[in-house]
Chains A and B, each alone.
Chain A
């Protein structure tokens, strides 16, 4: 694989910001690889990303190598994704951007366009795309095992992120659970069924009402319809109680003329009262592997920036539906 590298054998990667809770997981996996030279920018001073080369500003990270990094991983607060990605495009640097790609459709459009024009890889960090259970779902639909699929129920429930207050700051996050937890399942459905035709959403702010930022929804139900007639509902609520032994989970049930399939992307664990020991395929590592391969090939693979943009449009349509109380045509977004 290294011999196919268009640049050097070792890829120079800058991880931009430790604001997202996934930064530590990505840093640990990149740091462990011999083909990666990693620098972590921690301008916000979060203290929980350890054992790596950490610098205190984005400038230091951009300038950590004479020719700059080959690629960056963007794990800043959502609203700051755009500036970092546009800067990467300007510098000709490849990008893996944490989801959601952006907090607005214009931002996401600008990011995708800039990377396309600059000829750099833009991928969106949807690790669950690589979960074996999700691959099984995709295969079961594609090979017709479920017959004609007519309905989907997806749940992506979690605890309220508790080490990063910006997750419920609507300015920085773009919203609450509707933004945080709709896009994973929206991406998976996009990879199987394409884009929906309409989006309806209803939300509330009852869970974690004492901790969530003002105006940040903590519960939500998003219903998608497709031209085929398929109907899908996503429960994006932060409804995992604080005392649960694991952060939450992601489940999808597909029903069709050939029967029903339900998959649980985080089912693999050893349990016990109050215990949850996860095992199984490391989806974060699979995502990074796909990204590094794309960087070496100079060609994005799924989950791309484009699907990141499409899922931002679904969220924007859901937010518009919450405002109007009516379903929204995705084409109008």
Chain B
């Protein structure tokens, strides 16, 4: 619960950065009955019209008008804006990754603790029903002790130019694979060592794949495979969890609930290749925002903590260090 907002009043939420991910978060805020505000270098007006938000001309104006901020900017400025929001006394939702570097990620976590504000890293995959179901099953011991985990995530190369600049986005590891690194950690616990390799097409450098192998403290081992495929590549995610008491598998391409045949597919839009198609399920983006909002109002539990967000950055950085050096990195 925030000190400035009585429980019955709507949350006043300031979305900072109104690009792709803000459009995924907004419906969740609307569902919570929040009073939406926004600030962005680009696209604020369009966002405001679409979601009924109030546009502010500066960060300071926005901070003055809201209780909570939702940081949806390019990754490279996450930490800087989170610090400003915390200094302004706001609770913060921050799109993953929490920051580009381990130091920056730890600093925002410590800052939030110091000032007694909430900081929620938006690791949305924890809110996908398939991963949530697997996590519950693993937690209840239904496949025994985890041994070998595999995760795949496939999409098209993001179109926003800042993703292509690894100093801004952290590349495929920090932007895309971090989801599966976080899943591996959520399921199998802390990581002792990371070995990673990346392969970038020599002909078209937007086509790239990365492999990371994590050795967990528990003894479990995980393989994360990311792919930014050629134009037209469909978003797809899979996992395969082998324990000494059974196995759990999921493949979004093999999800048989709704199947259009080849003819119908040509006239049916199914996701954009950049974000997963969530039309057939309760939106995980709404799910995460609702959980954060409930936690703010009632101090309830969330399945992802600020420290989890920082740890995912730390392990992703270790993977990047492995890419750079060709060595296995001890965490």
Task: Spell out A's residues near B (CB within 8 Å).
Answer: 147-148, 150-151, 153, 155, 157, 198, 200, 202-209, 218-221, 223, 225, 229-231, 233, 235, 237, 239-241, 244, 255-260, 325-327
Contacts and interface: CB of A to CB of B under 8 A. Distances in A.
A235 B195 contact: no
13 contacts: A150-B208, A151-B199, A151-B227, A200-B213, A207-B147, A225-B197, A229-B202, A233-B225, A240-B247, A244-B247, A257-B204, A260-B229, A325-B193
Interface of B: 145-148, 150, 152, 154, 193, 195, 197-204, 207-211, 213, 215, 219-221, 223, 225, 227, 229-230, 233, 240, 242-244, 246-247, 326-328, 330
- Which 9 residue pairs of A and B lie closest in terms of their CB atoms, listed nearest first? A239-B242, A151-B209, A206-B147, A150-B199, A231-B197, A219-B148, A237-B148, A231-B199, A219-B147
Contact of B213 (A198, A233, A255): A233
Contacts of A258: 230
B326 A255 contact: no
Task: Tell me the dominant secondary structure on chain B's binding face.
Answer: strand
A213 to B, nearest CB: 16
Given A150-B209, A223-B197, A257-B230, A241 B147 contact: no
B203 A257 contact: yes
Contacts of A231: 197-199, 209-211
Given A150-B209, A233-B211, A235-B150, A206 B220 contact: yes
A202 B193 contact: yes
A317 to B, nearest CB: 14
B141 to A, nearest CB: 14
Nearest to A208: B244
B205 to A, nearest CB: 10
A191 to B, nearest CB: 20
B203 A219 contact: no
Which residue among B197, B203, B207, B209 has the maximum number of chain A CB atoms within 10 Å of its CB? B197
Contacts of B203: 147-148, 257
Contact of B223 (A206, A221, A257, A260): A221
Contacts of A326: 327-328
Contacts of A237: 147-148, 242
Contacts of A235: 148, 150, 223
Given A223-B213, A225-B197, A231-B209, 16 more contacts: A150-B201, A151-B199, A151-B209, A153-B152, A153-B211, A200-B328, A202-B215, A204-B147, A206-B147, A206-B243, A207-B243, A221-B148, A221-B223, A256-B201, A325-B328, A327-B328
Contacts of A202: 193, 195, 213, 215, 221
Which residue among A150, A203, A326 has the maximum number of chain B CB atoms within 10 Å of its CB? A150
A239 B328 CA distance: 24
A255 B193 contact: no
A155 B240 CA distance: 11
A157 B197 CA distance: 23
B225 A151 contact: yes
Nearest to B330: A325
A244 B249 CA distance: 13
Contacts of A198: 326
Nearest to A321: B328
Nearest to B245: A241
Contacts of B244: 206-209
Given A206-B145, A221-B221, A259-B233, A150 B213 contact: no
Nearest to A236: B148
B221 A239 contact: no
Contact of A327 (B152, B223, B240, B327): B327
Given A202-B213, A221-B221, A229 B200 contact: yes
Contact of A257 (B207, B219, B240, B242): B207
Contacts of B198: 231
Contact of B150 (A155, A241, A256): A155
A179 B145 CA distance: 23
B195 A223 contact: yes
Contact of B199 (A220, A230, A325): A230
B229 A255 contact: yes
B200 A150 contact: yes
Given A150-B207, A233-B211, A257 B197 contact: no
Contacts of A157: 242
A202 B215 CA distance: 7
B199 A219 contact: no
Given A147-B230, A241-B246, A206 B219 contact: yes
B221 A203 contact: yes
A325 B193 CA distance: 9
A219 to B, nearest CB: 4
Contacts of A147: 201, 203, 230
B180 to A, nearest CB: 13
Contacts of B197: 223, 225, 231
A226 to B, nearest CB: 9
